[in-house]
Amino acid sequence: MLDLVYTPFAEYEFMQRALVGIIAIALGGGPIGVFLMLRRMSLTGDAMAHAILPGAAVGYLMAGLSLPAMTVGGLVAGVVVAVAAGLVSRFTALKEDASLAAFYLLSLALGVTLVSLRGSNVDLLHVLFGTVLALDDNTLLLLASISTLTVLALAVLYRPLVLECVDPIFLRSVSRAGTPTHLIFLGLVVMNLVGGFHALGTLLAVGMMMLPAAASRFWTGDITKMMLASVLIGMVSGVSGLLLSFHVELPAGPAIILSAGAVYGFSLLLGREGGLLWLAWPGKHLEA
């Protein structure tokens, strides 16, 4: 049994690189997903994941499958869509969720169209679903840098982020940090989605943010523990998904997200904080 787990990572360099990349994504994306969930912005993350596609596609048209070009393009597109959706919701009668939905649909259609103009079906699949088993040194360095910057930024912004989740009105009454914190947080969301895009593609990148975060909510109500649990769940999902892909010959990206989904289902059923089993039988025999 141990050989099934150890051998793929010990003998194959592409599995080692994929493992390092997934760990980096889990370290940065897990805590971001927790705050997205607590701020009721889970679907915002999904919309932003698709918003980066046109920028990445423009980078692809200009320089091919170039890491710098697609990264810069994705970052610019994500920031533009976030700002545009905010301005639409601020100056019109349309709410932010509706404006994000509109931009999300337009971004997805535009991005797929741009990639199709030059690339083959293989290139389109690369953009949509990523190539986690083909990460090079530059991509791993990018993922590690994004993860490090995210952890440092969250450490600095932890208090205002938590306050904004719990009582945003109180935060606005005692400090002017609310708006800058929100904008920096959206920037971190875009950065982590761009990093996840290179490994898992635009359609699956948000999965490593939201599924571990949602699963962690069923095990603890403490935000710090929730962040740690989401990182751990993301890492476990990444390892199990890579092993599933290796042994059963499944696409690696979808296998990782399916593994995260399995952990979410397990947590939904057995989690101590609102799991279905604990809600159905809340008696003392289930208490620690």
Q: What is the CATH number of the domain that holds 191?
A: 1.10.3470.10
pTM: 0.86
Give the separation between CA 266 and CA 271, rounded to whole angstroms. Answer: 8
At 283, the pLDDT band (50, 70, 90 cuts) reads low
Give the separation between CA 181 and CA 64, rounded to whole angstroms. Answer: 35
CB count within 10 Å of CB 4 equals: 10
Give the separation between CA 189 and CA 193, rounded to whole angstroms. Answer: 6
Give the separation between CA 217 and CA 29, rounded to whole angstroms. Answer: 15
CB count within 10 Å of CB 28 equals: 29
Question: Residues 9-22: pLDDT tens digits?
Answer: 988 999 999 999 99
Mean pLDDT value across the chain: 85
Closest by CA to 215, choosing from 257, 161, 152, is 257
Q: Is 236 exposed, middle or buried (0-12, 13-18, 19+ CB in 10 A)?
A: middle
Considering 64-68, 111-115, 180-184, 266-270, the range whose residues carry the highest mean pLDDT is 266-270
Q: What is the pLDDT of residue 229?
A: 96
Q: What is the pLDDT of residue 284?
A: 57
Question: Residue 241: is its pLDDT beyond 70?
Answer: yes
Q: What is the pLDDT of residue 226?
A: 94
Contact 272, 216 (CB under 8 A): no
Q: What is the pLDDT of residue 141?
A: 93
Q: What is the pLDDT of residue 117?
A: 75
Tally the domains of the chain: 1
pLDDT, average across residues 120-136? 75
Closest by CA to 206, choosing from 50, 97, 100, is 50
Question: Residue 121: is its pLDDT beyond 70?
Answer: no
Closest by CA to 144, choosing from 184, 199, 181, is 199
Of 275 and 93, the structure prediction assigns the larger pLDDT to: 275
- Where in the sequence is the domain holding 201, given as residue range(s)? 2-286
Question: Residue 248: is its pLDDT beyond 60?
Answer: yes
Q: What tokens were used for 3?
A: 């050989």
At 78, the pLDDT band (50, 70, 90 cuts) reads confident
Q: What tokens were used for 205?
A: 């990148």
Question: Residue 167: is its pLDDT beyond 80?
Answer: no
Q: What is the pLDDT of residue 282?
A: 65
Of 96 and 51, the structure prediction assigns the larger pLDDT to: 51
Q: What is the pLDDT of residue 123?
A: 64
Give the separation between CA 134 and CA 147, rounded to whole angstroms. Answer: 19
Question: Residues 141-154: pLDDT tens digits?
Answer: 999 999 999 999 99
> Considering the chain, what percentage of its residues have pLDDT values greater than 90?
34
